Structure 1
Amino acid sequence: MLAAPDVFDQRDDDGIVILLDANPPADQHDNVRRAAAVCPAAAIEVLDIEVLDIEALDIEAPGIDAPGIEVRR
C-alpha cells in the first residue's frame, strides 16, 4: 500500500493487504485516510476513536462508555 507503507503491506503472491499497525501514530492518519480513499476494493475502513480522560476533565460521567469512545480512568 503505497499511500501508507508503515501501516499496510501487500502480499506479492495474491495481493491481499495486511494491516501492520492497527493504531498508527497521528502523523500517519492522513496517509491512512488516503489509502482508504484509493483502495480499489474499498477494503479499508477508518474508525476515529475519541479518547477521553475523565479525571482530567474533572466531571462525573456515568455511562459514558459507548461504542467508538475509549475512556481512560
Structure 2
Amino acid sequence: MTPEQCREARKFLGWTHQRLGVRSGTSGYTVRNFELGQVRTRETNVAAIRAALEAAGMEFIPGNGGGAGVRLKKAAD
C-alpha cells in the first residue's frame, strides 16, 4: 500500500486520520505521517493500517501500468 492509496481509501470511507488510527490500533499521527511520506513508518503499522482499511471494504489495486489505486470491494452475491 502506498501513502497515496492510504489517503484515498481513508477519504473514500470519510475517515479522519484519528479514526483510522483508532481502527488500526496505531494513532492519527502515525497515519498522517505515513500519508505524507515524510517519516519512515514501521511495516507493522502499515500492515495494521492496511488491514483496517481492508476490513472496512477497501481493496488495493497494484500498479500495472495504469498506476496503483483503491476501490470498494464488490459485495458477494
User: Structure 1 or 2: larger strand share?
Assistant: 1
Q: How high is the TM-score relative to the length of structure 1?
A: 0.30
Higher relative contact order (CA 8 A, sep 6+): 2
Decide which structure has the larger Cα Rg and report it: 1
User: Structure 1 or 2: larger helix share?
Assistant: 2
